[in-house]
């Protein structure tokens, strides 16, 4: 049945298995509850590109020039807007959730709880994007996966190298039975320093943005003063 579905699917006739898998990996980074998969996305992109091409060809007199150019641009940039931009925004959200989540996890571990119990307590006591992903991983454990398998699946849904590095450390400590508390504190310090540097970078850009806006406003004001007599004369 699966092979039959593949043979009838437009995406599998046009794109290679490697291309479909590559897009699926990118879409997985949108999280556990993303509403589409690679095949649906590739089919929609192809069909909308064809529709856009013929619409532009029909509307414009120079459609034979405009239609191919705009269609190629649309086809190329659609994944960057629909997928990559959302992935980047989600990575920022997850990085913002990380420090508090892992601080609570570390405190839970310090009370003597095992890793699985500490993860359950932390994920259920915090309402965030990151805790939601950990809850889904723990749900997979309840359905039969080992904790390490669930953590490996979790990494495929997290578009943050910092968080994935922590998840890797957690998985390794679960395998070898090492204490992870000291490592967690080091990772938390790293996340805190990273957030401080990111905040400083954003603050340093503010004067430049203000300067650009001020220059544009000043130029418009000068132009208005120069052209105001002409405008008044024209209106009168």
- What band does 3 get if pLDDT is binned at 50, 70 and 90? very low
Whether the predicted pLDDT of 5 surpasses 70: no
* Locus of tokens 């204490």: 179
Of the candidates 101, 147, 142, which has an alpha carbon nearest to the alpha carbon of residue 125?
101
- The DSSP result for 149-174, as a single string, is HHHHHHHTT---HHHHHHHHHHHHHH
H-type helices in 60-84, by residue range?
63-79
The angle that helices 115-125 and 129-142 make with each other, rounded to 10 degrees, is 130
Q: What whole-number distance in Å separates Cα of residue 119 and Cα of residue 110? A: 12
Model's pTM, two decimal places? 0.77
Q: What's 92-195's CATH class?
A: mainly alpha
Q: Which two tokens stand for residue 20?
A: 């479909």
Read off the pLDDT of residues 157-210 as tens digits, 9 standing for 90 and up: 999 999 999 999 888 888 887 778 888 888 888 888 888 887 777 777 777 666
Whether the predicted pLDDT of 101 surpasses 50: yes
Number of C-beta neighbours around residue 98 at 10 A? 23
Locate the domains of the chain by residue range. Answer: 2-90, 92-195
Whether the predicted pLDDT of 216 surpasses 80: no
Whether the predicted pLDDT of 4 surpasses 70: no
Whether the predicted pLDDT of 69 surpasses 50: yes
């Amino acid at each position: 049945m699966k092979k039959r579905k593949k043979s009838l699917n437009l995406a599998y006739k046009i794109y290679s298995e490697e291309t479909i898998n590559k897009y699926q990996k990118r879409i997985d980074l949108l999280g556990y509850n993303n509403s589409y998969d690679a095949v649906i996305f590739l089919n929609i992109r192809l069909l909308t590109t064809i529709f856009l091409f013929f619409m532009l060809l029909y509307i414009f007199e120079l459609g034979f020039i405009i239609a191919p150019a705009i269609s190629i641009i649309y086809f190329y940039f659609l994944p960057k807007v629909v997928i990559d931009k959302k992935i980047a925004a989600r990575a920022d959200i997850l990085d913002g959730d990380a420090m508090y989540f892992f601080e609570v996890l570390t405190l839970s571990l310090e009370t003597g709880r095992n890793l699985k119990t500490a993860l359950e307590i932390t994920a259920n006591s915090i309402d965030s994007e990151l805790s939601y992903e950990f809850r889904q991983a723990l749900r997979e454990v309840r359905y039969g996966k080992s904790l390490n398998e669930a953590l490996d699946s979790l990494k495929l849904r997290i578009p943050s190298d910092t968080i994935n590095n922590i998840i890797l450390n957690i998985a390794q400590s679960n395998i070898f039975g090492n204490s992870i508390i000291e490592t967690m504190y080091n990772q938390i310090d790293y996340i805190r320093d990273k957030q401080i540097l990111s905040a400083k970078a954003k603050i340093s850009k503010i004067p430049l943005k203000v300067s650009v806006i001020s220059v544009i406003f000043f130029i418009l004001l000068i132009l208005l003063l120069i052209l105001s007599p002409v405008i008044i004369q024209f209106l009168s």
